[in-house]
Structure 1
Amino acid sequence: MIESKAAKVLRAAGLWQWFCSFDSLGLKATWIDTRLGWSSMTLSSPSSSAPDAGQGAALPPPTRPSIAIIGLGRVGMVLGRALHAAGYPLVAVSSRSPAKAQAAAALFQAEAATPIVAAQAADLTLLTISDDAIPGVVAELAVAGAWHAGQSVVHASGVSPAAVLAPAAAHGAAIGALHPLAAFASPETTLPPGLTFAIEATGTLHAQLWAMARALGGYPFDLDPADKTLYHAAAVIASNYTVTLAALASELFVRMGAAPEEALRALVPLMRTTLDNMERQGLPQALTGPLLRGDVSTVQRHLAALDESVPRVGALYRCLAHGTLPLAQQRGLPSDMAGALQDLITLPGEMVVEREV
């Protein structure tokens, strides 16, 4: 077992072990403990031959199952293209849109079919539909007789447990979950190498999903269903809210007279170099900026400007600073400077529970 680049990036979730809320007293920042323990997490290398002992280590290499994909949105198309390129036999695809199904069938050399026909045609059915739709679809297919022993049913949701596939399990099918930890903004996105795949499964299906993740150039790891919500929240913070931060920073550039496209052109390289630093150096070494330097006067000027022009961004700045200070202290920020900064970013009436470093 080695710690992958993906694991190092996941540890960035430690930056977000706090949450913000607003009430009549103003902004509050509170530290909470993580349940996933990203800092000590290790993921399997794509070149590893088997899961750890106790997770199928003694099993022979699993055979590649034939696959049907139900749902041809962004995730379904990206995974379908990657699986096809990796040599997996895609036998059927299904979509609410006949045109999408026909196009995907031609691309993957598969058959366009109804959901029940697609499910009956494959060893493993991959459900790449919305989280809310999964229980209803799997139950409808169970009533229609789509599921049976010897079959596997897997969903690609990052937040739902495999248990939502219980109607299939009741008919003898093996059930599981395979979630690629990536942001797919378009169905044409190419699955990048080095992704983390969160897996929930047992037995033969578990071994097959681990092998599938490796075949796609990824790093599989087993995710306890009890931890899925926290896992998904970490993913949302690291991915979706990065876009939010870029939008807010762009807004400040626009207030200075820049066009939105100019703002983004200026900020994206900065954000990319920060991610590169995290990948190369890890945390907290990748941290830079005024909090790390203990530059109280600069932070004070930032807050004064933000409070005057965009108070909501000033409130977020304070909340982010609360989360950043412990990282700066880990890098050696003296306690007196940390205290001065803490006083500066804490509003009257605000409750702060500091994280131990």
Structure 2
Amino acid sequence: MNRDGRLGVGIVGAGKVGPVIGAALAGAGHALVAITHGSDDERTEAMLPGVPVLDALEVVRRSELVVIAVPHDQLPGLVAGLAEIGAWQPGQLVLHTDPAYGVDVLAPAVGRGAIPLAVHPAITFSGTSMDLRQLASAYAAVTAPGAVLPIAQALAVELGCEPVVVAEEDRAAYAEAIATATEFSRSIVRQSSAILGAVGVENPGAYLSVLMHSAIDLALADGSRGSDDVDATTLDE
């Protein structure tokens, strides 16, 4: 780490999440050293112009902080594979963004002397600059060994998020809550849009926008209060 606390950051995973995390960290003053190829290199270039695109091994070798943003089923094999070829370095920070894993999945890197961090920003990523605005009002689940938990929390703050500590043993339950919220919301919108379209509403998404946002805001407010009250007008209707 540089004396001013700025890090050389490498991104492994260039889907919708990795480039956004990289852009947020760059905005906080860190230096982006490289990113791997992804599903849409043009989008990556738009988010991170001029950042070298290299293979995972070279990204890891060049970085003080490695951010791993890959699909859930790829994370364990990737970490272990990089350990087998000696990529991880003593004192290197390794951070993944998967909601379901804590830091145990990073054990192969830890065995090589790396420092494990798990930070999951609780937003639905689009892979565009719009996500940076969402991060600024989001929470992030952080998991890390006690001695380095402040580092994970500080990086969450630098992403724009408010950090919330989630214990290693609670990550699976946390991931279930996140999946339930996102999948249910998508399902309801698709179902409602299909019904509105069938009765002749030309733009169901626009029609539902204010309704869905207001309904979700009210539900979230009720959930925060622990309220089980029901809107009487809904019952009357």
Tell me the TM-score normalized by structure 2.
Answer: 0.84
1:274-302 alpha-carbon deviations (Å, 9 max, x no partner): 233356664438853656x4x4xx5xxxx
Which residue in 2 is equivalent to 1:140?
81
- Aligned-pair RMSD on alpha carbons? 2.7
Who is 1:338 aligned against? none
Number of residue pairs the alignment of both structures matches: 230
Match of 1:92 in 2: 34
| Structure-2 change in CA distance of 1:289 and 1:256 (3 Å) | farther
Spell out the pairing of 1:77-116 with structure 2 (5 A cutoff). 77-95=19-37, 99=41, 103=45, 107=49, 109-116=50-57
1:266–1:104 distance in 2 versus 1, CA, 3 Å = closer
Q: Distance in 2 between matches of 1:221 and 1:255?
A: 43
Q: Does residue 158 in structure 1 map to residue 104 in structure 2?
A: no
Q: Counterpart of 1:351? A: none
Structure 1 pair 289–130 and aligned structure 2 pair: CA distance change class (3 A): farther
Please identify the structure whose Cα radius of gyration is greater: 1
Contact 1:66 1:91 in 2 (8 A): yes
Amino acid at match of 2:150: A
SS of the equivalent of 1:239 reads helix
Deviations 1:32-66 (A, max 9, x none): xxxxxxxxxxxxxxxxxxxxxxxxxxxxxx93432
Match of 2:59 in 1: 118
Counterparts of 1:6-85 in structure 2, within 5 Å, are: 63-85=5-27
CA distance in structure 2 between the partners assigned to 1:183 and 1:289 by the alignment: 32
Deviation of 1:216 (Å): 2.4
Distance 1:200 1:231, change over 3 A: same
| Alpha-carbon separation, structure 1, partners of 2:30 and 2:161 | 15
1:241 corresponding residue in structure 2: 184
SS of alignment partner, residue 131 of structure 2: coil
Q: Aligned partners of 2:213, 2:88: CA distance in 1, in Å?
A: 45
Matched with 1:213 is 156
CA positional deviation for 1:129: 0.7
Aligned to 1:14: none
Equivalent residue letter for 1:74:
K
Contact 2:138 2:162 in 1 (8 A): yes
Extract unaligned runs of 5+ from structure 2.
none
User: Which secondary structure does the structure 2 equivalent of 1:112 belong to?
Assistant: coil
Q: How does 1:292-303 map to 2 (within 5 A)?
A: 293=235, 295=236, 298=237
Partner residue of 1:272?
213
1:135 Cα deviation after fit: 1.4
Aligned to 1:202: 145
Judging changes above 3 Å, is the alpha-carbon distance between structure 1 residues 96 and 181 closer, same or farther for their aligned structure 2 residues? closer
| Cα offsets for 1:236-279 (capped at 9, x unmatched) | 222221111122222332343334x2x22221110112233356
> 1:50 maps to what in 2?
none
Q: Which amino acid aligns with 2:34?
A: A
State the Cα deviation string for residues 281-339 of structure 1 (Å, max 9, x = none): 64438853656x4x4xx5xxxxxxxxxxxxxxxxxxxxxxxxxxxxxxxxxxxxxxxxx
Q: Using a 3 Å threshold, how does the CA distance of structure 1 residues 139 and 185 change in structure 2: closer, same or farther?
A: same
Contact 1:105 1:111 in 2 (8 A): no
Q: Partners of 2:169 and 2:11 in 1: how far apart?
A: 26
SS class of match (2:164): strand
> How far apart, CA to CA, are the structure 1 residues paired with 2:138 and 2:14?
21
Distance 1:112 1:256, change over 3 A: closer
Alignment TM-score, normalising by the size of structure 1:
0.58
1:169 counterpart = 2:110? yes
* Helix, strand or coil at the partner of 2:119: strand
